[in-house]
Structure 1
Amino acid sequence: MATVVVLDDYQGVALDSADWTPITDRFDVRVETEHVADRDELVARLRDAQVVVAMRERTAFPADLLRALPELRLLVTTGMKNAAIDVPAARELGIEVCGTTGSGNAVAELTLGMMIALTRNFAAEDAGVRRGGWQHTIGPGLAGLTLGVVGLGRLGIPVSRLARAFAMDVVAWSPNLTAARAAEHDARAVSKRELFEQADVVTIHLPLSERSRGLVGAAEFSAMRPSSYLVNTSRGPIVDEAALLDALRSRRIAGAALDVYDVEPLPADHPLRTMPNTLLLPHLGYVTTDAYRTFFAQAVEDVVAWADGRPVRSLD
């Protein structure tokens, strides 16, 4: 019987999030709940798999890994984009790569939640109460603050909309953003420099590319005020990590809320783990029960369609 391997099911919920019987009747299904970082170990676990279901970008599939998996014929990723998969190499090797639709409003909701938790020191106050303490910090409300949205696109637009509901002013910058386009979403288009100078909270919503890698660095942190905050729910390498650490240590900025990192999972000895002026989440932007139901239901559909010789949701 052919084998399907589901990778990186950290919460152990993949098989409960959809009806897998159309697959389990025809395939041997194996679920990996721990991230396999070692390449040789990963190859060993996937060597007999004809189908792999990957959770977003948790496990990368570069060309050399794909070449080491001669049995692999279908690679399903949750979401319709995955920068961690070498799609051209997969196609050259005869591996079909397909995906599922997105995660709804989950990222926008998380972004606003992180803003409030960071500025009002929820994590520190929760820890204080558990230690027997009471009220140690103070922070601003969001109403009247200026939110700077870096990337007013598919994810930045709903963030802007929610921010306006919290009575925030919104300024935005994207490489090709026009004043008219920003105004359609109750935002004011500004230059990149102006955004970092004016914003009380900067939130990043650009895809990772060679153009956006390191986009936020020492110059941007120098432009920010000591009372301002950074939120990144996009991709870690968009922010220069060394510059961020320096800005946090020197209190060049008030704090940072991060859901994404250069290396994921975040290494146990990483200096961000000891920075007091941070809110650190483990890449939860898309991790909701409704998103997982969509992800895995459509992954099942993709596998069945492929097995039946029907078209699948091919990646761009």
Structure 2
Amino acid sequence: MQNSADRDPAPTPTGPVRVAILDDYQDVATSFAPWSEAPLDLELSVHRAPLADDDALVAALDGCQVAVLMRERTPLRRAVVERLPDLRLVVTTGRANSAIEADLGVMVCGTDSSSAGPAELTWALVTALRRHLIAEDRAVRAGEWQSTVGEALEGSTLGVVGLGRIGTRVATVGQAFGMRVLAWSANLDHGRAREMGVEPVAKDELLAASDVVSLHLRLSERSRHTLGEPEFALMRPGAVLVNTARSGLVDTAALCRALESGRLGGAGLDVFDREPLGPKDPLLDAPRTVLTPHLGYVTRQNYRIFYEQALEDIVAFYAGSPLRVVQDARRP
């Protein structure tokens, strides 16, 4: 194994730069950036299928100088990097990736991302739950007509947990629908919330008063299981939960119990403890759910940002002027 401190942080290429693009589920990575026009000789290997374990990841990255990761689809640990002596640069789409170990041993660069996609998907899930769109679609196909009675958004209460870039967009749309909007997070700026017309409240108050609760926190040890058994017990009977942020914010077992008991009116989920979702995952059988395969950031506009800037990161790294640095292995 080669110690990361022994690696030239930005070597001059003497041949093709081998770049592994991981988790390109839709097989579109090469179409969203001008890879062939780069001022480097890039040799791309594109991996569509999820990699099962560390050994599969090492095999995929063996001999590569650069790895391009799509969000948190594949975890990357220092122990893996130590088995990859040629690896010099990791590019993650987005500026934060909780699946990358903090002290990776090589440089990590990121990209920008748009908050529009996750906010839009949040409202797709909210409306699907409140108007029973999945059930009504199936009913129409079965020859039935108007089998449910939905709930209007106007006049109801939205609880936004986390008022950052995405949470702010979600709150603004809620106001446009005529909803009362509450917000809570551990570091909430109460003054900014009030300026937006959003009511800052305690977490318990938000849960007890909201008809719709939407999660928009970053996952950390402090935020893990922000919603668990005690919190679901506080929620208004029939309220719905939407999570387009991170699955770890919710105790999944407690969520399933709240759905099975009928206390929770429904859950719209775009993120899961294990992705892709396994065939025996209990959420597949949980009632009143709308499940999407982590689509929040999956838009043509966002993918273009991701892959164009990933290419920029690679070129800048080999020019000796790295861009959007997330981790700098050259620091002591």
TM-score class, shorter: over 0.9
Cα distance in 1 for partners of 2:135, 2:116 equals 27
- CA-to-partner distance for each residue in 1:270-308, whole Å, 9 max, x for gaps? 010112310001111111100001110101111111122
Residue 315 of structure 1 aligns to a residue whose secondary structure is strand
- CA-to-partner distance for each residue in 1:156-195, whole Å, 9 max, x for gaps? 1111011111111101111132532221121101111000
Kindly indicate whether the alpha-carbon contact (under 8 Å) linking 2:35 and 2:42 is maintained by their aligned counterparts in 1.
no
Residue 241 of structure 2 aligns to a residue whose secondary structure is strand
1:47 aligns with 2:58: no
Residue number in structure 2 paired with 1:86: 101
1:202 aligns with 2:213: yes
Aligned partner of 2:283 among 272, 283, 286: 272
Kindly indicate whether the alpha-carbon contact (under 8 Å) linking 2:77 and 2:100 is maintained by their aligned counterparts in 1.
yes
Residue number in structure 2 paired with 1:218: 229
Identity across matched positions, percent: 49
Residue 155 of structure 1 aligns to a residue whose secondary structure is helix
Gaps of 5+ in 1: none
TM-score by length of 1: 0.95
Kindly indicate whether the alpha-carbon contact (under 8 Å) linking 1:23 and 1:303 is maintained by their aligned counterparts in 2.
no
Residue number in structure 1 paired with 2:144: 133
Residue number in structure 1 paired with 2:3: none
Cα distance in 1 for partners of 2:240, 2:255 equals 11
Cα distance in 1 for partners of 2:276, 2:83 equals 24
Q: What amino acid does structure 2 have at the position aligned with 1:30?
A: S
Kindly indicate whether the alpha-carbon contact (under 8 Å) linking 2:40 and 2:315 is maintained by their aligned counterparts in 1.
no
Per-residue deviation, 1:23:
4.1
Q: What amino acid does structure 1 have at the position aligned with 2:79?
A: D
Q: What amino acid does structure 1 have at the position aligned with 2:61?
A: L
Q: What amino acid does structure 1 have at the position aligned with 2:95?
A: M
Cα distance in 1 for partners of 2:108, 2:188 equals 32
Residue number in structure 1 paired with 2:88: 73
Residue 109 of structure 2 aligns to a residue whose secondary structure is strand
For structure 1, which segment, 158-167 or 32-41, has the greater mean C-alpha deviation from structure 2 after superposition? 32-41
Residue number in structure 2 paired with 1:155: 166
Q: What amino acid does structure 1 have at the position aligned with 2:80?
A: L
- CA-to-partner distance for each residue in 1:35-59, whole Å, 9 max, x for gaps? 1122212211111111011001100
1:34 aligns with 2:45: no
For structure 1, which segment, 73-82 or 35-44, has the greater mean C-alpha deviation from structure 2 after superposition? 35-44
Residue number in structure 1 paired with 2:304: 293
Q: What amino acid does structure 2 have at the position aligned with 1:147?
A: L
State the aligned residue count. Answer: 312
- CA-to-partner distance for each residue in 1:9-35, whole Å, 9 max, x for gaps? 111111111211134960211111111
Residue 172 of structure 1 aligns to a residue whose secondary structure is strand
Per-residue deviation, 1:315:
1.0
Residue 104 of structure 2 aligns to a residue whose secondary structure is helix
- CA-to-partner distance for each residue in 1:235-284, whole Å, 9 max, x for gaps? 00110111101000001110100011111111111010112310001111
Kindly indicate whether the alpha-carbon contact (under 8 Å) linking 1:87 and 1:97 is maintained by their aligned counterparts in 2.
no
Aligned partner of 1:306 among 299, 317, 321: 317
Residue number in structure 2 paired with 1:6: 21
Residue 149 of structure 1 aligns to a residue whose secondary structure is strand
Cα distance in 2 for partners of 1:214, 1:285 equals 20
Residue number in structure 2 paired with 1:118: 129
Residue number in structure 1 paired with 2:244: 233
Q: What amino acid does structure 2 have at the position aligned with 1:302?
A: D
- CA-to-partner distance for each residue in 1:62-85, whole Å, 9 max, x for gaps? 121121222111100000111111
Kindly indicate whether the alpha-carbon contact (under 8 Å) linking 1:152 and 1:205 is maintained by their aligned counterparts in 2.
yes
1:186-197 alignment, distance < 5 Å = 186-197=197-208
Residue 88 of structure 1 aligns to a residue whose secondary structure is coil
Residue 148 of structure 2 aligns to a residue whose secondary structure is coil
Cα distance in 1 for partners of 2:238, 2:302 equals 35
Kindly indicate whether the alpha-carbon contact (under 8 Å) linking 2:224 and 2:250 is maintained by their aligned counterparts in 1.
yes
Cα distance in 2 for partners of 1:126, 1:144 equals 26
TM-score by length of 2: 0.91
Cα distance in 1 for partners of 2:230, 2:287 equals 23
Cα distance in 1 for partners of 2:57, 2:146 equals 47
When the two chains are superposed, the root-mean-square deviation of aligned CA atoms in Å is 1.4
